[in-house]
Structure 1
Amino acid sequence: MAKTGNSPDGGRTLYVRFRHGDEDGLRDTFRALDRGETPESHFEVVFEDPADVHRVTRPRNLELLRTIAQREPESIRETARLVERDVRQVHDNLAELEELHLLEFEEEGRQKRPTVWYDSIEVDLSLTAPETTRDEANA
């Protein structure tokens, strides 16, 4: 069964993969969104460095993503207040999540509003690597 970006409860899921991407499927998804359609495909972010997967799943980053998805804060400052953390630390974590393509900032005057378009994340981390030659592995 193919995975889609829509969960049975009507939510949207972002798939995080390590070295397994479907660029054609992702392009089709964005084209459907541009046409105002609900895509049948799935959204995914593909990381080539396992450390990036770790950055996504760190407890503080997950706390921020959950807070943004559930509470829809109006600014970075409000986000920091909701998670009871220092604004500078939250700003740095949100910048990291933006760099990882997991959130966007909507600028409203002088404020930056962190937003996510999904309500769940599914991480796919294969424990087996594709066949490579010894030369490729040592490159």
Structure 2
Amino acid sequence: MSESILHVRVGVPVEESLGAAAETMKALDRGEAPEPYFGVGFEDMSQMLAVFTPKRWELIGALRAAGPLTVAELARRLRRNYKNVHGDIAELMEWMAVERDEAGKVFVPWSEIVVDMRLPHQAAA
């Protein structure tokens, strides 16, 4: 398994992310090998919590601990309905938190998932 980190960022302006991507491209043009960065972003906490629900965090933890599993086996281990677990896996795959291997088993490719929440600017007093 990879020792990579998935960064889940909340409230970070798109411009800031685009700026970081531009800097990475410049480094590549100079022949430098920048550190790999994997991230997904959400405008606000409610959007993030709609994707990363408590049940899905439980699923991520169980998968990380067990290693690659079929969705059916994961559902059995979590004592959850297969259809619900299948839907959760599909959603988490869209957000890069879970992947499927060549055998069709699902797994968490990250050693860490770091959630970074930017607080709104405080209004001037």
Q: TM-score higher than 0.5 here? A: yes
Distance in structure 2 (CA, Å) of the matches to 1:122 and 1:13? 7
- Counterparts of 2:20 and 2:93 in 1: how far apart (Å)? 22
Question: Aligned to 1:122, what secondary structure does the other structure show?
Answer: strand
Among 94, 100, 103, the alignment partner of 2:98 is: 103
Could you tell me which of 68, 78, 89 is aligned with 2:63? 68
Partner of 1:128: 120
CA pair 26-67 structure 1, distance change in 2 beyond 3 A: farther
Aligned residues with identical type, % of pairs: 29
Q: Aligned residue pairs: how many?
A: 112
Q: CA offset at residue 43 of structure 1?
A: 2.2
Q: Specify the code of the residue in structure 1 equivalent to 2:83.
A: R
Unaligned stretches of 5+ residues in structure 2: none
Distance 1:46 1:129 in 2: 18
Query: Which position in structure 2 is the counterpart of 1:12?
Result: 4
Residues in 1 aligned to 2:61 and 2:68: alpha-carbon distance in whole angstroms? 11
What amino acid maps onto 2:47 in structure 1?
D
In structure 2, the residue matched to 1:81 is 76
Higher RCO (CA-CA < 8 Å; seq separation 6+): 2
Match in the other structure for 2:54: 59
Give me the whole-angstrom Cα distance separating, in 2, the residues matched to 1:26 and 1:103: 23
- The answer to whether the 8 Å contact 1:26/1:44 transfers is no
- CA root-mean-square deviation: 3.1
TM-score in terms of structure 2 length: 0.69
Q: Which runs of 5+ in 1 are unaligned?
A: 1-9, 131-139
**1:44 maps onto 2:39 in alignment:** yes
| TM-score calculated relative to the size of structure 1 | 0.63
Kindly provide the amino acid, as one letter, of the partner of residue 114 in structure 2: E
Q: Cα distance 1:50–1:91, how it changes in 2: closer, same or farther (>3 A)? A: same
